[in-house]
């Protein structure tokens, strides 16, 4: 296990640096894998020539100052091709234990050195080099092992794996376990995956299991975490409240250098025509239940209120933490979560809007994010949510399950809140109300003609005709409520009459248009 908060802070820095610094410097690794895959042929008649060509793009992975592993193994292959061929065949035999194969390769290299280059100090075929061979051959299973880097990355991320000098077998097994654990979380970050995919070229190995990406992330943690803040070491940075290059990320107060406008409870009550007591109740229910549906007649300001409710909880107008969708009869699981869609001549697994937003919220734990669904009753909830109908429940947040199209564990984070809207005048409401009732709390939004906020708005227009019109609407709503065939769900909402900035806008023509061609302000 590792520390989630330290991981999230490191990931934020990694994504920020990925395109500008990491990818230009690290792309050669994906190119090295692709080159090896294209040129490796264990049955090649000229094994030494094939090996030299297959390792051609590895550069500093297998060569550095005073370190010549590629040159040594190719030299041995020239003098004893069948022995070196057999060494690689045994190394790449996945039926045997990985450490036993690595250890056997080292022992064989020792024998070649003693026989073929006794005057040379060493053969350089250590664990780092041998795991590089494994990674080149099986990039969907292995990473590159370097004790100093994996030890430091594990410590900085709060991992519980132990790496000790001389404990070769245990270190290899702990390295694989630690990197696999990081990978399982890393690949859930849609934003990073999209960043990575956008950089890939035809010369790069596509890395479908993202193991080379995981390896690069851990390398980043061990080498660069403290670089963006030179007065801090990497370890201090990971304990801090912000990621490199950001300002108070956990508070959510900035997006780059752009200040966000503060938004408070008072701001909400000034914009949305409900009472303070109703607002307090609405906020408390959403924070407790995490899923809420604003239901009411058309024109009561459900959509208008939903976004402002999110802002008031954030304390600022930060639309980067809000996602908005509208359901319809053809909306599907593939649109919402994930599914295979046409891509070129075939199909590719694509992530849906909710999956991506969950990963975005996961990147900033403790910072509230809001997913707003308009016309939620118009979608087939079982079809759209699938297994997520369980995961969105409060008690199952952060519970991981494998999704229909992926074997990668997925969960809905605790800091994601869902706000749905539905019109009570819509007859389709009765068909799905029971399916939603368990997962969502329902909050009635009513016409706000009698609210303090609308009263101030009406008084500011200073128009007797408008006052008389509003009185008639109140009377009409009372008749609608008493009508057994209609009821309060068919009342006329106040938002039809909103949007005027002052008395000069409140003309007779405007009021006639509202009555004849109603349009509410959402």
Shared-domain flag, residues 155 and 175:
yes
Shared-domain flag, residues 458 and 347:
no
The number of domains in the chain is 3
Residue 144 included in any domain: yes
Residue 235 included in any domain: yes
Residue 469 included in any domain: yes
Which residues neighbour 434 within 8 Å (Cβ) at sequence distance 6 or greater? none
Residue 253 included in any domain: no
User: Which residue segment(s) compose the domain that 457 sits in?
Assistant: 452-516
| 188 and 11 Cβ atoms separated by less than 8 Å | no
Shared-domain flag, residues 374 and 457:
no
Looking at residue 361, its pLDDT comes to: 85
Pairing of strands 291-296, 416-423: parallel
Among 413, 429, 445, residue at a domain's last position: 445
Shared-domain flag, residues 456 and 441:
no
Shared-domain flag, residues 476 and 439:
no
Low-confidence stretches of the chain (pLDDT < 70) are 226-259, 407, 425-436, 519-522
Shared-domain flag, residues 417 and 474:
no
Pairing of strands 322-326, 254-255: unpaired
Token pair 């851990």: residue = 218
Residue 257 included in any domain: no
Looking at residue 280, its pLDDT comes to: 95
Token pair 């295979």: residue = 340
Looking at residue 233, its pLDDT comes to: 38
State the CATH number of the domain containing residue 433.
3.40.50.300
SS3 295: strand
Residue 285 included in any domain: yes
Secondary structure in 3-state letters for 123-143: CCCCHHHHHHHHHHHCCCCCC
DSSP string, 113-126: HHHH-TTSS-----
Among 390, 414, 445, residue at a domain's last position: 445
Q: Dig out the tokens for 32 from the structure.
A: 């090295």
Residue 256 included in any domain: no
Among 382, 413, 445, residue at a domain's last position: 445
Residue 259 included in any domain: no
Shared-domain flag, residues 131 and 236:
yes
Token pair 């060569």: residue = 63
Q: Mind listing the pLDDT tens digit for each residue in 469-521?
A: 988 988 888 888 888 888 777 888 888 888 788 888 889 888 888 888 776 55
| 364 and 414 Cβ atoms separated by less than 8 Å | no
Shared-domain flag, residues 13 and 143:
yes
HSE on the CB side for 468, CA within 13 Å?
Answer: 6
SS3 443: strand
Shared-domain flag, residues 435 and 473:
no
Which residues neighbour 358 within 8 Å (Cβ) at sequence distance 6 or greater? 410, 411, 412, 413, 416
**Taking every pair of C-alpha atoms in the chain, what is the biggest distance, in angstroms?**
107
Shared-domain flag, residues 317 and 240:
no
Looking at residue 16, its pLDDT comes to: 85
For 67, which DSSP code? B
Q: Dig out the tokens for 134 from the structure.
A: 């494994």
140/30 Cα distance (integer angstroms): 12
| 366 and 250 Cβ atoms separated by less than 8 Å | yes
Strands (E), 188-233: none
The C-alpha angle 340, 369, 454, rounded to 5 degrees, equals 120
Which is nearest to 453 in space by CA: 405, 404, 497? 497
Shared-domain flag, residues 219 and 324:
no
Looking at residue 234, its pLDDT comes to: 39
Query: CA gyration radius for the chain?
Result: 31
Shared-domain flag, residues 486 and 458:
yes
145/171 Cα distance (integer angstroms): 9
Which is nearest to 424 in space by CA: 488, 489, 378? 489
Instruction: Give the Cβ contact number of residue 122 at 10 Å.
Output: 14
């Amino acid at each position: 296990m590792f520390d989630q908060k330290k991981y999230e802070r490191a990931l934020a820095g990694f994504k920020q640096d990925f395109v500008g610094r990491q990818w230009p410097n690290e792309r050669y690794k994906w190119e090295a894998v692709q080159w090896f895959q294209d040129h490796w042929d264990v049955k090649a008649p000229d094994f030494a020539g094939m090996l030299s060509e297959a390792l051609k793009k590895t550069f500093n992975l297998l060569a550095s100052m005073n370190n010549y592993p590629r040159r040594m193994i190719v030299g041995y292959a020239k003098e004893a091709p069948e022995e070196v061929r057999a060494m690689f065949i045994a190394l790449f035999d996945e039926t045997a234990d990985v450490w036993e194969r690595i250890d056997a390769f080292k022992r064989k290299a020792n024998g070649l050195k003693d026989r073929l280059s006794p005057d040379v100090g060493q053969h350089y075929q250590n664990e780092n080099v041998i795991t590089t061979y494994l990674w080149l051959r099986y990039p969907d299973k292995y990473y590159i092992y370097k004790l100093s880097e994996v030890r430091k990355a594990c410590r900085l991320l709060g991992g519980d794996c132990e790496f000790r000098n001389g404990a070769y077998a245990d270190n290899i097994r702990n390295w694989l376990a630690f990197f696999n654990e990081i990978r399982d979380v890393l690949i859930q970050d849609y934003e990073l995956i999209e960043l990575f995919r956008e950089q890939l070229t035809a010369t790069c190995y596509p890395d479908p299991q993202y193991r080379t990406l995981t390896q690069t992330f851990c390398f980043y943690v061990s080498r660069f975490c403290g670089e963006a803040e030179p007065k801090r070491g990497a370890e201090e940075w990971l304990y801090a409240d912000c990621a490199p290059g950001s300002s108070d990320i956990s508070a959510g107060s900035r997006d780059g250098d752009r200040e966000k406008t503060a938004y408070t409870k008072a701001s909400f009550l000034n914009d949305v025509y409900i009472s303070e007591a109703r607002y307090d109740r609405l906020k408390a229910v959403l924070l407790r239940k995490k899923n809420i549906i604003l239901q009411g007649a058309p024109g009561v300001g459900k959509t208008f209120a939903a976004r402002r409710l999110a802002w008031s909880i954030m304390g600022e107008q930060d639309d980067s933490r809000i996602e908005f969708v509208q359901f319809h009869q053809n909306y599907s699981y593939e649109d919402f979560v994930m599914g295979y869609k046409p891509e070129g001549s075939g199909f590719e697994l694509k992530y849906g809007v909710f999956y991506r937003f969950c990963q975005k919220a996961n990147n900033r734990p403790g910072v509230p994010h809001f997913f707003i669904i308009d016309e939620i009753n118009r979608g087939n909830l079982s079809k759209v949510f699938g297994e997520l109908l369980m995961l969105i429940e409060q008690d199952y947040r952060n519970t991981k399950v494998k999704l229909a199209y992926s074997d990668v564990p997925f969960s809905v984070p605790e800091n994601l809140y869902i706000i749905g809207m539905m019109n009570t005048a819509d007859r389709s409401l009765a068909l799905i109300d029971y399916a939603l009732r368990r997962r969502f709390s329902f909050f009635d939004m009513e016409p706000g003609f009698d609210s303090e906020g609308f009263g101030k708005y009406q008084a500011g227009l200073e128009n007797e005709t408008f006052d008389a019109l509003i009185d008639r609407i109140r009377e009409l709503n009372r008749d609608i409520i008493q009508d057994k065939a209609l009821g309060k769900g068919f009342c006329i909402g106040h938002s039809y009459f909103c949007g005027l900035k002052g008395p000069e806008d409140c003309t007779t023509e405007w009021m006639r248009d509202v009555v004849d061609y109603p349009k509410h302000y959402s």
